[in-house]
Amino acid sequence: MTGRFSGRRVLVTGASRGIGAATAQRFAAEGADVAIVARTLEQHDHLAGSLNETAARLRDFGGRVAVVAADMTDEDARARIVPDAVEGLGGAIDVLVNNAAAAMYAPLRNFPLKRRRIVFEVNVHAPLDLAQAVLPAMVERGEGWIINLSSATARPVGGSTMAVYGASKAALNRITSGLALELSGTGVRVNTVEPRAAVMSEGATALIGDTVRADQIESMEEMVEAIVALADCPAELTGRTCVSLDLIDELQLTVHALDGTPPSSTPKGIRS
């Protein structure tokens, strides 16, 4: 455990499993107080992981942990996330990680409106709502970090079944750059980061299973390293759409384990 984020309060959405849970663990290991948000408090119907399980791992590091169960598709539920996190952590949020996402894939010719609305509620409206909620305190303090999790599908690649999800991530990228421009000079940094390759979280494993080759995968530790790098980056690093492994190379980062220690053999992931 290090003290890199000691005294910082971090809010991570989608933290019952996968990238969100791993990111929350890394922040806790680095000394942060962490608020975690997701729908699954106790147990998911199909996937491993829950908020309570993540919270138990975080508490092992000795920091303060706030658990906020909320449905990101519900604007009223979203409205209480930041107030509940602030109350649970005892102060304003320094770092917001918008990781929660709704991934639904279907041909466009019959993609249901209800599902389209869910995708955009979770992937676009929720991140902006939470950003708007944490920004007043960040601007008043003169610093803050907002990291939005994006996807390569934001670019027009792949089949049409990913178009709605990709469109939502393209919207998130555009909102990120616009918000960063709007906040220029305030000390608040706003960036997105996306994996270069597949990160085999519980959800990804259930969705794509054994269809991904080993050379198409990057480690969870690498993805988390890139996220953490954007959580204490300098003021000039803002408005970027970053790619995990490229950012690691650019900043010459050492990839650490989720407990904050440098592994004896750092995973290299995919390198071109």
Clarify whether 165 is annotated catalytic.
Answer: yes
CA dist 13 and 242 (Å) reads 19
Q: Is 99 exposed, middle or buried (0-12, 13-18, 19+ CB in 10 A)?
A: buried
CA dist 27 and 11 (Å) reads 10
- Residue 112's nearest CA partner among 155, 164, 68, 149 is 164
Strands (E), 71-202: 95-98, 144-149, 188-194
CA dist 267 and 208 (Å) reads 22
Task: Give the 3-state DSSP-derived string for 166-215, with helices as H, strands as E and coil as C.
Answer: HHHHHHHHHHHHHHHHHCCCCCEEEEEEECCCECCCHHHHHHHHHHCCHH
Selected catalytic residue, list 27, 105, 145, 165: 165
Say which DSSP state 269 is in.
-
Q: Which residues are catalytic?
A: 165
